[in-house]
Each structure stands twice: as C-alpha cells, then as structure tokens.
C-alpha cells in the first residue's frame, strides 16, 4: 500500500511540475536532448573580446557542457566515421563563445523526449 501511495504521489508531483511549462520550454529541452544525442549540427565559435579575433571554430554534431567549476567549456564532437573528440576550452573575462544551430530540428512542444539506454547500465570494464 505504501508503494502505491508513493508512486501516485510521485506521478502527481511530476504532473504538477510539468503542467506550468510553456511550449518554448518543452521545445528547448527536446532540442537540448537531441544535441546531447549528437543529432544537432552546430557551429561553436570562440572569440577574443580584446583582439576582436576568432580563436577557434568547431562545426559538427556537438554536445556542449559548461563547467563553471573549472571555468571551461567541454565540447564533445561526433565525427563522420562514428568516433568522438573532446575539446576543453578555457573561458575568461576576455574570451567568450557562441554556439549556433545550423540545421533546424523538428521537436515536440507537447511531450518531453525521454531516452532510456539499457546498455548504459552495464559497465564496460577494462582490466589492466
């Protein structure tokens, strides 16, 4: 009985939490989720505000993570051959970046996208 009550309470809280979301918030969450699945083609540019020059430009299927602890941007890029590269780019008071989505993406404004990967539960263990 306690489990059923707990499940009903959790579902109720989720419904209340998501009921106030706008279409823009749902679409934004779904686009971000698609980008983290390497489905969004982006251009990320690093810019030096003092010299007015571009430092670096990366184009491709990118997942972006801002690490505020280390004050850096972590950019993971999926290459055409299915391999991945990860770049760490330091941010400072004179270096900034902008990211633009190059291609449009159809996403739902009514339903949140949920991704479940059972294979991610089983670890890949390397013995040395």
Q: Tens of pLDDT along 62-110? A: 999 999 999 999 999 999 999 999 999 988 889 889 999 988 888 888 8
**3-class secondary-structure state, position 32:** helix
Q: What's the confidence (pLDDT) of residue 57?
A: 93
Provide the token pair at 127.
Answer: 């013995």
Provide the token pair at 22.
Answer: 């706008």
Average of per-residue pLDDT across 17-33: 81
What's the pLDDT band for 2 if we cut at 50, 70, 90?
A: low
What's the pLDDT band for 26 if we cut at 50, 70, 90?
A: confident
Q: What's the confidence (pLDDT) of residue 110?
A: 81
Residue predicted with more confidence, 110 or 47 = 47
Q: What's the confidence (pLDDT) of residue 61?
A: 94
Instruction: Report the distance separating Cα 80 and Cα 63, nearest Å.
Output: 15
Q: What's the confidence (pLDDT) of residue 117?
A: 80
Specify the pTM: 0.69
Provide the token pair at 7.
Answer: 């499940």
Provide the token pair at 91.
Answer: 């941010």
**Contacts of residue 85, Cβ cutoff 8 Å, sequence gap at least 6:** 76, 77, 79
Q: Which residues of 29-60 are buried (b: 16+ CB within 10 A; e: fewer)?
A: ebbebbbeebebbbebebbeeeeeeeeeebeb
∠ CA 49-41-76, nearest 5°, is 70
């Amino acid at each position: 009985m306690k489990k059923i009550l707990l499940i009903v309470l959790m579902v109720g809280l989720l419904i209340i939490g998501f009921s106030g979301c706008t279409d823009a918030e749902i679409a934004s969450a779904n686009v971000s989720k698609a980008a983290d699945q390497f489905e969004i083609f982006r251009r990320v540019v690093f810019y030096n505000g003092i010299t007015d020059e571009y430092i670096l430009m990366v184009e491709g299927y990118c997942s972006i993570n801002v690490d505020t602890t280390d004050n850096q941007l972590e950019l993971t890029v999926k290459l055409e051959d299915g391999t991945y590269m990860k770049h760490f780019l330091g941010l400072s008071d004179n270096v900034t970046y902008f990211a633009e989505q190059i291609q449009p993406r159809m996403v739902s404004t009514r339903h949140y996208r949920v991704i479940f990967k059972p294979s991610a539960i089983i670890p890949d263990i390397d013995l040395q």
